[in-house]
Amino acid sequence: MRYQRSSILFKEAQKVIPGGVNSPVRAFKSVGGTPIFIEKAKGALLYDKDGNTFIDYISSWGPMILGHAYDPVIKAIKMRLEKGTSFGIPTALETEIATLALDMIANKDKIRFVNSGTEACMSAIRLARGYTNREKIIKFKGCYHGHSDAFLIQAGSGAVTFGSPSSPGVTQGTAKDTLLADFNNLDEVIRLFDEYPEEIAAVIVEPVAGNMGCITPNHGFLEGLRSICDKFASLLIFDEVMTGFRLAKGGAQELLGVNADIVTYGKVLGGGLPVGAFAAKKQIMRQLAPEGPVYQAGTLSGNPIAMAAGLSTLQILNADQEIYTRLEKKTENLELGFKEILNNKGIPYQINRIGSMFSLHFTEQPVVDFQSATLGDNELFKNYFHGMLDQGIYLPPSAFESYFLNDAITFSDINYTVEAFRKVISKF
């Protein structure tokens, strides 16, 4: 059995960890089978406990943009470790990475570091509510902003109604302040503002969605959100936990040319360690404690080990602008290779790509929102996933997740992946 050791480890984990995993997608529920357990990683490769090697196309769900165990980042972590792991007291390192991050973002004045993307989005919503003195928010179906109660909301009877909890433990009281709209649908957003013109504190959106596959904004969608928020004196929040520092030095704001009022970050910002952040202009950020009345705190926020990893990563990205060109070219080659094979085979498909984010959907209909993302052939995706896994390619174990390429992936790796895909698809 190729994954015998992983199978044993999964059974052991299930005895002491709910579902055997500490984040649900890792359990392979969407694709079936036994999740593999990783021993180590280097560059573009993963090595599991059974001795198998895989080309990695999730990059720890985004942060490993430089590749795994990247030497300068590891060196920065080791050097910092020797000075202590946590203080709960300010360090100059926090100011250094904040200054660099704001320089790369370019249109924000201040940034606050937290420990995860969930925490960043949760804090951004609280800040928006405190700044506007309003309570309701608009989010989009299929956009994931972490597991804070306000975000675990699904659609009610329609986009102009209140949401309802999509997880036990989320109260109806919380759900009533979260309004739902379809991604890429400005008309629904306008209807919500028409119904609640003075109650909506903020619109929060992934400028490029990554949790219903990779879905890019239609032309004018983000610009429309910016205009609507300006008209109704609401804040526009970009959740750039995935896209920040990945799609461009300044993230999706820079690449797509639309500025949000508050932007959340994570993933790449931590260089592989748990980090989140949110940034805004000073008139908004001055509302945060200890300057203002909106409370937000965290003992491990600005942890020196995470700050060292993040600073090293940002310094490399800031110095090497060609990295984004290389990543896009590699991802484009992957797309073209897949398309040629799928077209020859006559299999219905949609490929969505922007920069180094990519997703494949087995459907004839363009995937532009959550509803269209659900129309893909999930059985075909399962066979595709396991076929590629057996060829030594690790893909997201869900049709509703984006691929993330890293700079350590070579064009030779891309060619191997395309040929592996050819073998897998030939059996369909």
Please determine, for residue 154, whether its predicted confidence score (pLDDT) is greater than 80. no
Same domain, 206 and 288: yes
Token representation of residue 240: 């750039």
Asked if 267 is an active-site residue, the reply is: yes
Residue 253 is predicted with a pLDDT of: 98
Residue 162 is predicted with a pLDDT of: 43
Same domain, 84 and 230: yes
Neighbours of 92 (CB within 10 A): 8
Of 284, 319, 354, the residue that ends a domain is 319
Residue of 57, 70, 131, 144 marked catalytic: 144
* pLDDT single digits (tens) 300-316: 999 999 999 999 999 99
Residue 163 is predicted with a pLDDT of: 47
Token representation of residue 179: 């309004």
Token representation of residue 279: 């940034």
> Could you tell me if residue 66 is inside a domain?
no
Is residue 290 reached through a cis peptide bond, with omega within 30 degrees of 0 on the bond before it? Answer: yes
Task: Give me the CATH number covering residue 268.
Answer: 3.40.640.10
Residue 148 is predicted with a pLDDT of: 81
CA distance 57 to 37: 16
Token representation of residue 358: 């990519």
Residue 151 is predicted with a pLDDT of: 82
Helix orientation angle between 92-105 and 304-319, rounded to the nearest 10 degrees: 30
Token representation of residue 350: 């949609």
Residue 159 is predicted with a pLDDT of: 31
Instruction: Find the domain containing 186 and state its range.
Output: 71-319
When divided into structural domains, the chain yields a total of: 2
Is 242:235 a contact under the CB 8 Å cutoff?
no
pLDDT range class, residue 2, cuts 50, 70, 90: confident
* pLDDT single digits (tens) 220-270: 999 999 999 999 999 999 999 999 999 999 999 999 999 999 999 999 999
Residue 160 is predicted with a pLDDT of: 33
CA distance 119 to 276: 7
Q: Give mean pLDDT, residues 63-79.
A: 98
3-state DSSP of the chain: CCCHHHHHHHHHHHHHCHHHCCCHHHHCCCCCCCCCCEEEEEECEEEECCCCEEEECCHHHCCCCCCECCHHHHHHHHHHHCCCCCCCCCCHHHHHHHHHHHHHHCCCCEEEEECCHHHHHHHHHHHHHHHHCCCEEEEECCCCCCCCHHHCEECCCCCCCECEECCCCCCHHHHCCEEEECCCCHHHHHHHHHHCCCCEEEEEECCCECCCCCECCCCCHHHHHHHHHHHHCCEEEEECCCCCCCCCCCHHHHHHCCCCCEEEECHHHHCCCCCEEEEECHHHHCCECCCCCECCCCCCCCCHHHHHHHHHHHHHHHHCCHHHHHHHHHHHHHHHHHHHHHHHHCCCCEEEEECCEEEEECCCCCCCCHHHHCCCCHHHHHHHHHHHHHCCEECCCCCCCCEECCCCCCHHHHHHHHHHHHHHHCCC
Q: Give mean pLDDT, residues 421-426.
A: 97
> Could you tell me if residue 275 is inside a domain?
yes
CA distance 363 to 221: 23
Is 308:80 a contact under the CB 8 Å cutoff?
yes
Token representation of residue 167: 């997880």
Same domain, 235 and 178: yes
> Could you tell me if residue 62 is inside a domain?
no
Of 270, 289, 319, the residue that ends a domain is 319
Residue 157 is predicted with a pLDDT of: 27
Asked if 48 is an active-site residue, the reply is: no
Per-chain mean pLDDT for the chain: 94
> Could you tell me if residue 63 is inside a domain?
no
Token representation of residue 16: 């002491």
C-alpha dist (Å) from residue 249 to 110, 244, 403? 17, 8, 19
What residues pair up with 53 in beta bridges, in sequence order? 47
pLDDT range class, residue 161, cuts 50, 70, 90: very low
Residue of 56, 177, 182, 239 marked catalytic: 239
> Could you tell me if residue 16 is inside a domain?
yes
- Prediction pTM value: 0.94
> Could you tell me if residue 177 is inside a domain?
yes
Q: Give mean pLDDT, residues 340-366.
A: 97
CA distance 274 to 264: 14
What residues pair up with 5 in beta bridges, in sequence order? none
Same domain, 163 and 224: yes
Neighbours of 339 (CB within 10 A): 13
CA distance 61 to 26: 11
Q: Give mean pLDDT, residues 60-83.
A: 97
Q: Give mean pLDDT, residues 369-388.
A: 95
pLDDT range class, residue 166, cuts 50, 70, 90: low
C-alpha dist (Å) from residue 263 to 15, 200, 240? 39, 18, 6
CA distance 35 to 187: 41
Asked if 261 is an active-site residue, the reply is: no
Least confident of 18-32, 72-86, 273-287, 325-339: 18-32
Q: Give mean pLDDT, residues 350-358.
A: 98
Of 262, 286, 319, the residue that ends a domain is 319
Residue of 108, 141, 249, 267 marked catalytic: 267
Residue 169 is predicted with a pLDDT of: 77
Same domain, 291 and 367: no
Backbone angles phi, psi at 237, to 5 degrees: -110, 125
Is 132:202 a contact under the CB 8 Å cutoff?
yes
Same domain, 312 and 350: no
Same domain, 50 and 78: no
Is 225:236 a contact under the CB 8 Å cutoff?
yes
With a CB cutoff of 8 Å and minimum separation 6, the contacts of 336 are none
Same domain, 78 and 23: no
Same domain, 315 and 327: no
Residue 92 is predicted with a pLDDT of: 97
> Could you tell me if residue 164 is inside a domain?
yes
> Could you tell me if residue 421 is inside a domain?
yes
Task: Give me the CATH number covering residue 46.
Answer: 3.90.1150.10
CA distance 194 to 413: 51
Same domain, 167 and 263: yes
Same domain, 166 and 304: yes
CA distance 108 to 283: 11
Same domain, 311 and 392: no
